[in-house]
């Protein structure tokens, strides 16, 4: 019944907006139906946390993917506020699975650049370059998407890196194998391969290989933290390509990423993450998380912390009901104990992502951290 009610509401919205095309006939990445976010919450938000995960969503998966405009695997108010639209005239814009935001006129996007191999297939990234060429190598900001290691794509990362490209960086947003394809360490292997590729192609893209920063949210936050602390850890490098290059990075922006799974799944209110089938369980190959002590240790960025790690900016919401704030607190404490520069900012009242993370002061905090760390220029 719940399924039927939501689909009926969506179809009514489509009709009201002048669309007579049946839902099943539309491309999954055409303009989402103008269904109110409050209506989605009322029908689908089972735990009342103000957002809807794919697991909670009882209507068609294709509808969820259409509504999830930033491809982070969670429906929040931000998805329903995004006004940018794909350029319908760009080749491939309307193919199934495309979710490509409009590109500002002052940047150039090189799409689906193959950076390596994983699981017997090509891995790709989008590169975001300033329109005006630079006479000196530029620092790089690489975005790693979230989605519980089981969903999401690199598409939403374009808009994440554009503000840094405007400040004198080159941007990249990368794909990695999801848990439906392979468990850990496939995810970090692919991320490291992307960094190695970019170093190998530094002259082609005019990159400064000594100024590579990474950023990501949720599962992406976990992976960028791991990139930051596991430089030189051979067991996590993989064999995707460019083995003669380093995967080390020089700055990390970690937005509410998990770290210590043991603490995570035993924190009151988060015990469900210990269950077989949870995102954390899938990352470790299935089964209850607490039954995988070696896996817990291997995926934890804190395991690899040492004094050679790069500066971190860590941001978490105080009311995050998906990843407890103690995950970022533990990361921060471990870095500080190792004498590594680390800043932890907890946003009062914020959840797992959402509008508070889109506030100008929070976005500017990330820009300021990176331009200051790489001495690109004064922050606005």
All structural domains of the chain: 2-81 (no CATH), 107-373 (3.40.50.1820)
Question: Average pLDDT, stretch 242-260?
Answer: 98
Q: What angle do helix axes 2-16 and 37-44 make, rounded to 10 degrees?
A: 170
Residue range 120-130, pLDDT digits in tens: 999 999 999 99
Q: How far apart are CA 357 and CA 369, in angstroms?
A: 15
Q: Which pLDDT band holds residue 6 (cuts at 50, 70, 90)? A: low
Q: How far apart are CA 361 and CA 367, in angstroms?
A: 10
| Residues 279 and 219 sit within 8 Å (Cβ to Cβ) | yes
Give residue 78's pLDDT.
Answer: 62
Higher confidence at residue 72 or residue 333? Answer: 333
Question: Average pLDDT, stretch 166-193?
Answer: 98
Compute CA distances 341 → 252, 336, 380, whole Å. 11, 7, 22
Does residue 10 have a pLDDT over 70?
no
- To the nearest 10°, report the CA torsion of 26, 29, 30, 31: 130
3-class SS of residue 311: coil
| Residues 138 and 107 sit within 8 Å (Cβ to Cβ) | no
Q: Which pLDDT band holds residue 81 (cuts at 50, 70, 90)? A: low
Give residue 52's pLDDT.
Answer: 83
Does residue 32 have a pLDDT over 80?
no
**pLDDT mean across residues, the chain:** 86
pTM of the model: 0.78
For residue 251, give the H/E element and its range.
Answer: strand 251-255
Q: Which pLDDT band holds residue 104 (cuts at 50, 70, 90)? A: confident
Compute CA distances 370 → 16, 277, 367, whole Å. 45, 37, 5
Question: Average pLDDT, stretch 239-256?
Answer: 98
Backbone angles phi, psi at 67, to 5 degrees: -75, -30
Q: How far apart are CA 64 and CA 308, in angstroms?
A: 42
Q: How far apart are CA 279 and CA 282, in angstroms?
A: 5
Higher confidence at residue 237 or residue 98? Answer: 237
CA distance from start to end of the chain: 52
Q: How far apart are CA 14 and CA 66, in angstroms?
A: 13
Give residue 80's pLDDT.
Answer: 67
Q: How far apart are CA 326 and CA 366, in angstroms?
A: 21
Residue range 183-216, pLDDT digits in tens: 999 999 999 999 999 999 999 999 999 999 999 9
Higher confidence at residue 65 or residue 250? Answer: 250
């Amino acid at each position: 019944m719940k399924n039927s009610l939501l689909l009926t509401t969506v179809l009514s919205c489509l009709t009201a907006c002048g669309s007579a095309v049946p839902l099943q006939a539309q491309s999954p990445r055409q303009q989402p139906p103008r269904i109110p976010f409050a209506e989605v919450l009322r029908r689908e938000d089972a735990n009342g946390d103000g957002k809807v995960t794919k697991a909670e969503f009882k209507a068609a998966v294709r509808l969820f993917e259409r509504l999830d405009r930033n491809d982070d695997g969670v429906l929040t108010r931000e998805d329903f506020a995004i006004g940018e639209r794909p350029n319908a005239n760009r080749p491939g814009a309307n193919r199934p699975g495309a979710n490509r935001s409009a590109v500002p006129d002052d940047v150039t996007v090189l799409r689906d650049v193959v950076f390596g191999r994983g699981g017997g297939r090509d891995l790709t990234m989008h590169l975001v370059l300033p329109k005006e060429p630079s006479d000196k190598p530029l620092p790089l900001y690489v975005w790693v998407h979230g989605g519980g290691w089981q969903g999401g794509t690199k598409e939403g990362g374009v808009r994440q890196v554009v503000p840094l490209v405007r400040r004198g960086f080159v941007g990249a947003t990368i794909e990695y194998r999801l848990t439906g394809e392979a468990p850990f360490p496939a995810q970090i292997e692919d991320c490291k391969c992307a960094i190695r590729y970019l170093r190998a192609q530094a002259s082609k893209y005019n990159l400064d290989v000594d100024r590579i920063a990474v950023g990501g949210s949720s599962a992406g936050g976990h992976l960028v933290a791991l990139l930051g602390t596991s430089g030189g850890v051979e067991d996590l490098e993989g064999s995707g390509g460019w083995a003669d290059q380093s995967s080390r990075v020089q700055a990390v922006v970690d937005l509410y990423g998990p770290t210590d799974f043991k603490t995570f799944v035993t924190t009151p209110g988060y015990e469900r993450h210990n269950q077989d089938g949870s995102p954390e369980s899938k990352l470790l190959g299935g089964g209850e998380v607490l039954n995988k002590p070696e896996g817990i240790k291997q995926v934890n960025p804190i395991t690899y912390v040492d004094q050679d790690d790069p500066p971190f900016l860590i941001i978490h919401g105080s009311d995050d009901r998906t990843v407890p704030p103690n995950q970022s607190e533990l990361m921060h404490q471990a870095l500080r104990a190792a004498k590594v520069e680390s800043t932890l900012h907890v946003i009062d009242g914020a959840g797992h992502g959402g509008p508070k993370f889109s506030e100008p002061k929070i976005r500017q905090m990330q820009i300021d951290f990176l331009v200051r760390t790489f001495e690109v220029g004064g922050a606005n």
